[in-house]
């Protein structure tokens, strides 16, 4: 990267935070105001025409979008060897990276985040734009719990004459009409199918048919009468997914309707009633709920360190070490009390149920 060129224009590179097919992603600082930015560095050498078209399409669309749940395009700084595209920085990374670190999401948290995703999609669709690449890796999260959609390289404006289907080896989030390369069927309904796949990704860690090679997954998406749904989900979640997975695009529900679905509207209310009404669920304070749930995830960082010393609790002959281990166990239980809405989830996730039984015997 030509760091001197970026520095001259007021941006300092700090660290690499990711990779995409056409370039690396860096975290940077705007030296004029101290704010963080994300910089996508794209090597110009050997860049094919399709990749150039994807880059230009992403910039063209993002320039004209203004929504709190869509990543903000800042600028493009070109050098002789690279194009550096600057975006708003989302501190907490993508939902897929959070799944990798913490595991799948409980339904309540998935519903919180997808309320924002659907709000962004409803805005895009009202502008005549289809995202076409909805998945966990393209949904970013800020430290304040705000969702930011990215990945507009495959997006298309329905008002434009040409609506090209881009071939991909990764079909797991793609609607059947797109897999069949039916150009005339490119519509906002494509994104709704992908919403269903991404909800499944959040709930179990991967989209439907992810255990199959791409070619086999395509066939299953096309020919199976029904998409497989995660076991153990609520009836509202099941109904939400079934509405997303209607095969015929003209019969598929739209984003505005999904925003009113009981799984989105009712998930938080049900959680609050079970937990004694931690916070009223309404439009004004929904962001505060998201912030609190994000704080829950931060608390889990503390759990990781304490759990390490508890993995072989029976193997501490030294009384001092045993005492310290028990203290750590008590600390874990105290931490879990801070997040009652997710206590059972994390107790099971980290295998703490047996641990608590052991500690109670000490």
- Residue 244 sits in a domain whose CATH number is 1.10.510.10
Count of structural domains, the chain:
3
Domain that holds residue 42: 3-88
Residue 284 within a domain? no
DSSP tag of 136: G
Q: How far is CA 130 from CA 63, 91, 138, 157, in A?
A: 15, 26, 14, 7
Specify the pLDDT at position 121. Answer: 97
Closest CA to 351 of 310, 321, 301: 310
Rg (CA), the chain: 23
Residue 281 within a domain? no
Query: What is the spatial distance between Cα 357 and Cα 352, in angstroms, rounded to a whole number?
Result: 9
Specify the pLDDT at position 108. Answer: 87
Compute the C-alpha angle 233/235/238, nearest 5°.
Answer: 65
Q: Are strands 147-149 and 73-78 parallel, antiparallel or unpaired?
A: unpaired
Residues 70 and 172 in one domain: no
Residues 112 and 245 in one domain: yes
Specify the pLDDT at position 221. Answer: 95
234: left (phi over 0), alpha (psi -120 to 50) or beta: beta
Residues 185 and 119 in one domain: yes
Residues 347 and 232 in one domain: no
Residues 343 and 268 in one domain: no
Q: How far is CA 172 from CA 100, 198, 224, 225, 362, in A?
A: 18, 9, 14, 16, 49
Query: What is the spatial distance between Cα 287 and Cα 113, in angstroms, rounded to a whole number?
Result: 10
Query: What is the spatial distance between Cα 175 and Cα 179, in angstroms, rounded to a whole number?
Result: 6
- The model carries a pTM of 0.73
Residue 348 within a domain? yes
Question: Tokens for 130?
Answer: 């289809």
The CATH number covering residue 8 comes to 3.30.200.20
Among residues 71, 88, 105, which one ends one of the domains?
88
Specify the pLDDT at position 153. Answer: 85
Question: Tokens for 291?
Answer: 């912030």
Query: What is the spatial distance between Cα 65 and Cα 128, in angstroms, rounded to a whole number?
Result: 12
Residues 170 and 263 in one domain: yes
**Binned average pLDDT, 10 residues per bin, the chain of 362 residues:** 64 84 87 90 84 85 94 88 90 90 89 94 95 95 91 84 57 92 77 98 96 93 94 95 96 96 81 43 40 52 51 50 61 58 52 50 49
Catalytic residue positions, numbered: 133
Half-sphere exposure of 225 (CA within 13 A, CB side): 0
Specify the pLDDT at position 344. Answer: 55
Residues 195 and 266 in one domain: yes
């Amino acid at each position: 990267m030509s760091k001197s060129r970026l520095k001259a224009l007021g941006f300092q590179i700090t660290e690499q935070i990711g990779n995409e097919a056409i370039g690396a992603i860096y975290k940077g600082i705007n030296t004029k105001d101290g704010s963080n930015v994300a910089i996508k560095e794209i090597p110009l050498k050997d860049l094919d025409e399709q990749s150039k078209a994807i880059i230009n399409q992403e910039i063209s669309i993002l320039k004209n979008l203004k929504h709190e749940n869509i990543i903000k395009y800042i600028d493009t700084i070109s050098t002789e060897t690279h194009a550096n595209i600057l975006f708003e920085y989302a501190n907490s990374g993508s939902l897929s990276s959070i799944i990798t670190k913490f595991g799948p999401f409980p339904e309540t948290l998935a519903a919180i985040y997808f309320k924002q995703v659907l709000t962004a999609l409803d805005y895009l669709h009202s502008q005549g734009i289809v995202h076409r690449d909805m998945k966990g890796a393209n949904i970013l999260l800020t430290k304040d719990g705000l969702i930011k959609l990215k990945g507009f390289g495959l997006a298309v404006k329905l008002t434009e004459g040409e609506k090209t289907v881009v071939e991909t080896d990764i079909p797991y989030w793609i609607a059947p009409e797109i897999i069949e390369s039916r150009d005339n069927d490119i519509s906002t309904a494509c994104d709704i199918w992908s919403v269903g796949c991404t909800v499944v990704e959040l709930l179990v860690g991967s989209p439907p048919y992810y255990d199959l090679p791409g070619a086999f997954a395509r066939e299953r998406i096309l020919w199976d009468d029904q998409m497989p749904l995660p076991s153990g989900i609520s009836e509202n979640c099941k109904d939400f997914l079934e509405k997303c997975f209607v095969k015929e695009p003209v019969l598929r529900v739209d984003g505005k309707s999904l925003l009113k679905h009981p799984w989105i509207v009712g998930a938080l209310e049900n959680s609050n009633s079970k937990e004694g009404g931690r916070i009223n669920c309404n439009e004004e304070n929904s962001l505060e709920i998201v912030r609190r749930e994000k704080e829950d995830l931060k608390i889990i960082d503390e759990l990781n360190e304490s759990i390490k010393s508890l993995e072989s609790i029976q193997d501490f002959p030294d009384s001092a070490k045993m005492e310290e281990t028990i203290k750590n166990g008590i600390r874990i239980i105290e931490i879990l009390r801070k997040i009652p809405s997710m206590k059972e989830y994390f107790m099971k996730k980290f295998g703490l149920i047996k641990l608590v039984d052991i500690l109670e015997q000490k």
